[in-house]
DNA sequence: CTGAAAGCGCTAACAA
DNA sequence: TTGTTAGCGCTTTCAG
């Protein structure tokens, strides 16, 4: 520890290590960052000095000097949702492999909040962004473009990404599930969304509508399950559905959490699933296959999507990938017991 | 944009803003950090200049100069577990309120990995750590102590925290649940843990053992549900339990995810819960009350624990809280249908 | 292969 | 209330 001007205390610095090892700070820096360029003897001495002094490399100083923070930012609607945890893990695993740190922030499904969050993160000078969603305010887009920081958008699709895209067609996926339900013989299919829908939710609802329209099943029926996704919201909407006359024969939910809440609520009300009413979800979450009856769902490669997005971003950062890169992820329709599939059926798409 | 030595490009700096506003960089800095100290006229000019130039404050440079990063680090066993998401949100919400950013890292339940992760994070010079768990390598402890960074440990209890503690007695909580099951009349209670238990898991198992011993129920029986916590692990262990003779009359699980997996698996096997076998979990996760039958569990104030930990940490960072602060969180035994409680019963503790 | 000089963009301390 | 000076601890560049 040293004392400098005004009594600021500081820890061991590279300079201190250099002094102990009898070399210059530059050599210490090289040992840490490009060890092959340094003579083996010196390297050993430096490493000993590092151990001896308990030196801890200062990435703040490094970031400032090198103009690279070694941080990638991940922007998502909410951290408290099981829907995104796997994607977070995908990003995080790739980041760790490349000795990059990930910093996360949530937007609460609000583009305005997203704008604030991105501006706040930009102050940390991240080397890149992974952003869930493709719907942003004009200002967000301008901010990102002006900053020149690579961006990978994901979990949605668009022909005009800010930079690069790891896409998922929520429309196609939900339409495919709707068609699968129609093929199973369901005719009065109700869709359950949320009161404050984001673009991904809207695209799913539209996919449902398109599926219904193409099947010539008359007017689509969409209910909202309250502000946020939770089993409780699913339960409440199930009660409303149970009261509908004539009663729908199938319930298609925006996601698995709502679907599970609805499924369990129907059972509790004495309404048999799928005999009285079928239920299907979206997301392919872990628990869906364990429920009784097992829940039909659209399986999304959540982990792989995070992984792919991070890899693409690192490529952009390294300069090995060009701007405009796009990669579309697929989905799988999993027909299980909750829609009357006697045995688990699978159909692959995209 | 400017060009300097060697052709490095850089963005708009505080200096640039100062020039446009006709003030010194220090004034710009003050407008941003202590606006009340600046004359209203100048402030307005500076703010206009910031907008005009599109200036984005550089927290990297700020951190280096001020020796405060404005980052708190959160260390947890895994990010992909529903058990911790609420605690993460608690920390994150408090952090945001105080204009601090949170950075997260996972240890995969390994103290050795924790050591690496903490060392890596220390390079970012976080202002403090929130760490899930109180079991660390000697080196980790030394590292943290030497660094002088405030630390709040949580989700476990110890008389000797590194710095401060937001405690939870896993032992007491699981013992209380065991006693509750005994009081309900169960006599052959099996405990389900995981193969790679951390200290929290061990303390829960010990709590179970103590409860069994005090009730004079003979030898405790502990099964391991595989490496990691998942519904699938719960399902598999349920099959083993179903084959035990004489069959246990209750299954107490390390957490709600295992318990849910077991409960659903029993049902699928045609074993009635709780008529044939009771099931209880730990954690008080959202879904537990929605299952049929609803799952008895030990409710833990997960969000509040994160919140409290973050608040305590910020107090330590600000210097308003003393080292050694401790706060013990309680738990609630929730007896629900899965253990035969006809209607939801609650008992409060700690 | 190694080192010296000159910053990176900001803030603490001091002066005016 | 505002400005000046001297760093924060590292890396880039360039010379040797």
Distance, in Å, from the CA atom of B168 to the CA atom of B177, rounded to the nearest integer, reads 15
Higher pLDDT, B202 or B350: B202
Q: Which two tokens stand for residue A78?
A: 């909410």
CA dihedral for B300, B305, B306, B307, sign (positive or negative): positive
Helix, strand, coil fractions of chain B, as percent rounded to 5: 45, 20, 35
B2-25 per-position pLDDT tens digit: 333 332 335 899 999 999 999 999
Q: Largest Cα–Cα distance in chain B? A: 86
Q: How many residues does chain A have?
A: 350
Q: What are phi and psi of A135, to 5 degrees?
A: -105, 110
Report pLDDT for B341.
66
Count CB atoms within 10 A of the CB of residue A21. Answer: 22
CA angle A72, A316, A28 (to 5 degrees): 65
Distance, in Å, from the CA atom of B180 to the CA atom of B336, rounded to the nearest integer, reads 11
B96-114 per-position pLDDT tens digit: 999 999 999 999 999 999 9
Find all residues with CB under 8 Å of A2, minimum gap 6, and list them: A9, A10, A16
Distance, in Å, from the CA atom of B252 to the CA atom of B249, rounded to the nearest integer, reads 10
Low-confidence residues of chain A, pLDDT below 50? 1-9, 342-350
B296 touches strand C (CB under 7 A): no
Q: What are phi and psi of B211, to 5 degrees?
A: -60, -45
A38 touches strand C (CB under 7 A): yes
| A80, A123, A261 ranked by CB distance to B56: nearest | A123
In angstroms, how far is the first alpha carbon of chain B from the final one?
Answer: 60
Q: Tell me the count of A-B CB pairs closer than 8 A.
A: 113
B251-289 per-position pLDDT tens digit: 999 999 999 999 999 999 999 999 999 999 999 999 999
A173-212 per-position pLDDT tens digit: 999 999 999 999 999 999 999 988 799 999 999 999 999 9
Report pLDDT for B346.
42
Q: What are phi and psi of B323, to 5 degrees?
A: -65, 155
CATH, domain range B2-57: 1.10.260.40
Find all residues with CB under 8 Å of B70, minimum gap 6, and list them: B59, B62, B63, B99, B100, B101, B127
Overall average pLDDT of the B203-231 stretch: 94
B154 touches strand C (CB under 7 A): no
Burial class (CB in 10 A: 0-12, 13-18, 19+), A330: middle
Predicted confidence band of residue B345 (pLDDT cuts 50, 70, 90): very low
**Could you tell me which of A253, A278, A225 has the C-alpha nearest to residue A83?**
A253
When the candidates are 3.40.1790.10, 3.30.70.1380, 3.40.50.2300, 3.30.360.10, the CATH number that belongs to A69-168+302-319 is 3.40.50.2300
- The yes/no answer on whether domain B170-299+333-349 falls in CATH 3.40.50.2300 is yes
Could you tell me if A43 and A36 are in contact, meaning their C-beta atoms sit under 8 angstroms apart? no
Could you tell me if B87 and B132 are in contact, meaning their C-beta atoms sit under 8 angstroms apart? yes
Entry pTM: 0.92
Q: Does the fold of domain B170-299+333-349 match that of domain B69-168+302-319?
A: yes
| B86, B232, B291 ranked by CB distance to A80: nearest | B86
**Closest approach of B216 to chain A, Cα-based (Å):** 36
Tell me the β-bridge partners of B283: B299
Give domain limits for chain B. Answer: 2-57, 69-168+302-319, 170-299+333-349
B3 touches strand C (CB under 7 A): no
**Could A231 and B286 be called an inter-chain contact, meaning their C-beta atoms sit closer than 8 Å?**
yes
A273-329 per-position pLDDT tens digit: 999 999 999 999 999 999 999 999 999 999 999 999 999 999 999 999 999 999 999
Q: How many residues does chain B have?
A: 350
Instruction: Find, in chain A, the residue whose alpha carbon is nearest to that of B230.
Output: A286
Report pLDDT for A341.
67
Contacts of B116 in chain A (CB under 8 A): none
Report pLDDT for B9.
37
**Which of B 34-73 have CB under 7 A of nucleic chain C?**
57-58, 61-62, 64-66
Average predicted confidence (pLDDT) for chain B: 93
CA dihedral for B54, B59, B64, B68, sign (positive or negative): positive
Predicted confidence band of residue B196 (pLDDT cuts 50, 70, 90): confident
Q: Which two tokens stand for residue A6?
A: 């005004």
Tell me the β-bridge partners of A280: A252, A296
Torsion of CA A282, A286, A291, A296, to 10 degrees: 30
Question: CA–C1' span, A100 to D10, in Å?
Answer: 18
Overall average pLDDT of the B320-333 stretch: 96
């Amino acid at each position: 520890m040293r004392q400098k001007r005004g009594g600021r205390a500081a820890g061991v610095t590279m300079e201190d290590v250099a002094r102990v090892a009898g070399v210059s700070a530059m050599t210490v820096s090289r040992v840490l960052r490009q060890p092959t360029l340094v003579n083996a003897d010196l390297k050993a001495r430096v490493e000993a000095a590092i151990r001896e002094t308990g030196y801890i490399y200062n990435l703040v100083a490094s970031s400032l000097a090198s103009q690279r923070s070694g941080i990638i930012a991940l922007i998502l609607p909410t951290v408290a949702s099981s829907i995104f945890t796997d994607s977070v893990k995908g990003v995080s695993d790739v980041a760790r492999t490349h000795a990059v740190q990930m910093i996360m922030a949530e937007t609460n499904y609000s583009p305005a909040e997203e704008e604030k969050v991105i501006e706040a993160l930009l102050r940390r000078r991240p080397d890149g962004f992974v952003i869930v969603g493709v719907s942003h305010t004009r200002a967000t887009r301008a901010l990102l473009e002006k900053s020149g920081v690579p961006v990978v958008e994901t979990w949605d699709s668009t022909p005009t990404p800010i930079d690069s895209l790891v896409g998922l067609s929520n429309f196609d996926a939900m339409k495919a599930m709707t068609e699968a339900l129609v093929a199973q013989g369901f005719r009065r299919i109700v869709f359950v969304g949320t009161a404050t829908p984001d673009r991904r939710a809207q695209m799913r609802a539209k996919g449902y509508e398109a599926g219904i329209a193409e099947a010539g099943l008359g007017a689509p029926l969409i209910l909202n399950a309250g502000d946020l996704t939770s089993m409780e919201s699913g339960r409440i909407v199930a009660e409303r559905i149970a009261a509908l006359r004539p009663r729908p024969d199938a319930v298609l939910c925006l996601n698995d959490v709502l679907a599970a809440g609805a499924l369990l609520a129907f059972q509790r009300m004495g309404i048999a699933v799928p005999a009285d009413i079928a239920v299907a979800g979206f997301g392919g979450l872990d628990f869906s296959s364990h429920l009784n009856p097992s829940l039909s769902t659209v399986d999304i490669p959540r982990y792989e999507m995070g992984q792919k997005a991070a890899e693409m971003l690192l490529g952009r950062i390294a300069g090995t990938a060009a701007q405009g890169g796009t990669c579309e992820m697929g989905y799988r329709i999993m027909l299980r017991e909750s829609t009357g599939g006697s045995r688990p059926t699978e159909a692959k798409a995209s």
